[in-house]
A = this chain, B = another copy of it.
């Protein structure tokens, strides 16, 4: 049995779902993978819950409490942050579930660097630091011979990097096309049914599908982050966010919307990498696909990705649950695959 000690950074919906999942899966993890996962700390804004060494998550709690309750615990250390935890605690994996604050992730970048530097593996659902310093973080992980896994940040329960790097190992991936953002795909599906853009956005908001600030989705940024991270992992490229030509679904030409409503056609916000032509190219744009396209039929909040390869032809993956538990399952999958 391999015992793995985790420091969890971020105790929002995904962080909490991750704790619950590890508890629910503890038997399977031991039996099937020979893994016993435990937590040494939960780091949040304002402080850290440091578990005593004897802490056994399974025996103590039925349901994981919310953050307010955590702060009343005798183990809560106000002002103690992730840098303290990485310095002083025993741990092997840092799980980053803090929300993505793109281009503002300086302290998260430093904490990931520090974790890798200290020889911890890092598993993250946070796109911010990865987008801001992909090459630096990957380089550090290689140098220290530890793993930096990011399924949680790249469409989570939809396998993307896994499939590109593992299932397609040895192929040359010449093109990637992905429907990588559930919110915009829902809105475009509604638009294809004749609903007006503003109305479709409102519907998505009412259904709780959008983020509090929907602009990252609507303007194509979220798709850009994901296609960037997937491409850099799978194709070993070195794209930065500046290299991605980004067109969102705001202000689409009416001709495009009309064409997307035709039978046998669909309008999708695609993240696209292309190795062909003169130079590798990466972009996000609203695109018409027809019935023969393998992503035709990926509607509503569903996601999907197609890898075009030299020796295996095109391979497409669709599905995967888009909720905190799905994201938690992606984080857990990455941990299992590190210690497999």
> A161 → chain B, closest Cβ, in Å?
9
Interface string of A259-296 (1 = CB under 8 A from B): 00000000000000000000000000000000100101
Interface string of A299-321 (1 = CB under 8 A from B): 00000001001011111111111
Interface string of A7-43 (1 = CB under 8 A from B): 0000000000000010001001100110000000000
Q: State in angstroms the CA–CA spacing of A325 and B309 once bound together.
A: 12
Residue of B nearest to A332 (CB): B170
A77 located at the interface, meaning its Cβ lies under 8 Å from any Cβ of chain B in the complex: no
Which residues of A are in contact with B by a Cβ distance under 8 Å? 21, 25, 28-29, 32-33, 157-159, 162-163, 166-172, 236, 291, 294, 296-297, 306, 309, 311-321, 325-326, 328-330, 332-333, 336-337, 340
> A281 → chain B, closest Cβ, in Å?
21
With known contacts A172-B28, A332-B170, A157–B312 Cβ distance under 8 A: yes
- Which of A169, A297, A332, A337 has most chain B Cβ within 10 Å? A169
Q: Which residue of the partner chain, among B21, B33, B313, B325, contacts A321 with CB atoms under 8 Å?
A: B313
Q: State in angstroms the CA–CA spacing of A325 and B171 once bound together.
A: 11
> A327 → chain B, closest Cβ, in Å?
10
Q: Which residue of the partner chain, among B32, B171, B328, B329, contacts A236 with CB atoms under 8 Å?
A: B32
How many copies the complex holds: the figure is 2
Q: Which residue of the partner chain, among B171, B309, B312, B333, contacts A167 with CB atoms under 8 Å?
A: B333
Beyond known contacts A29-B170, A162-B166, A315-B318: 4 more, CB 8 A cutoff? A312-B320, A313-B319, A315-B317, A316-B318
Contact B21 A336, beta carbon cutoff 8 Å? no
Q: State in angstroms the CA–CA spacing of A313 and B318 once bound together.
A: 11
Q: Which residues of the other chain, B, contact A29 by a CB distance below 8 angstroms?
A: 170
9 contacting pairs across A/B (C-beta < 8 A): A28-B170, A28-B172, A29-B170, A157-B313, A166-B166, A169-B336, A294-B318, A312-B330, A318-B318
Contact B321 A311, beta carbon cutoff 8 Å? yes
Q: State in angstroms the CA–CA spacing of A329 and B227 once bound together.
A: 25
